[in-house]
Amino acid sequence: MQIYKVFRQAEWAQMQQDGRTHGAPVDLADGYIHFSTAQQLAVTLSRHFGGEDGLILLACDADRLAPALRWEPSRGGALFPHLYRALTLDDIAWSRPLPLTETGHDLGVLE
């Protein structure tokens, strides 16, 4: 199963330079890296990245992140994937720009 992390361009550039990251400021504050499933991604984008252009979507294989990946309750009790270690470039299956359209972020990049 693929799970997804959204980064701003500067965060992605820093990860590429360093080869790893402990996440965005919200991840650092919470002590883990927030991910979303494909079904959770639209709401994550609208709540936390609404109207932001220049985002990068990263896909990771959930099984490859085990055992440091935990599924924990969050919004409305839904289980969200949280990574309790650094995310490395080797963990990433693919990365793609996440275009902003008039109706929101274009999730066609998942296809």
Residue 76 banded pLDDT, cuts 50, 70, 90: confident
Which domain range does residue 48 map to? Answer: 2-110
Does the pLDDT value for residue 96 go beyond 80? Answer: yes
Spatial distance between the Cα atoms of 61 and 2, rounded to a whole number of angstroms: 5
Q: Mean pLDDT in the chain?
A: 94
Does the pLDDT value for residue 111 go beyond 80? Answer: no
CATH of the domain at 43: 3.20.170.20
pLDDT of residue 6: 97
**pTM of the model as a whole:** 0.94
Does the pLDDT value for residue 22 go beyond 80? Answer: yes
Q: How many domains does the chain have?
A: 1
Q: Find the helix or strand (DSSP H, E) in which 96 lies.
A: strand 92-98
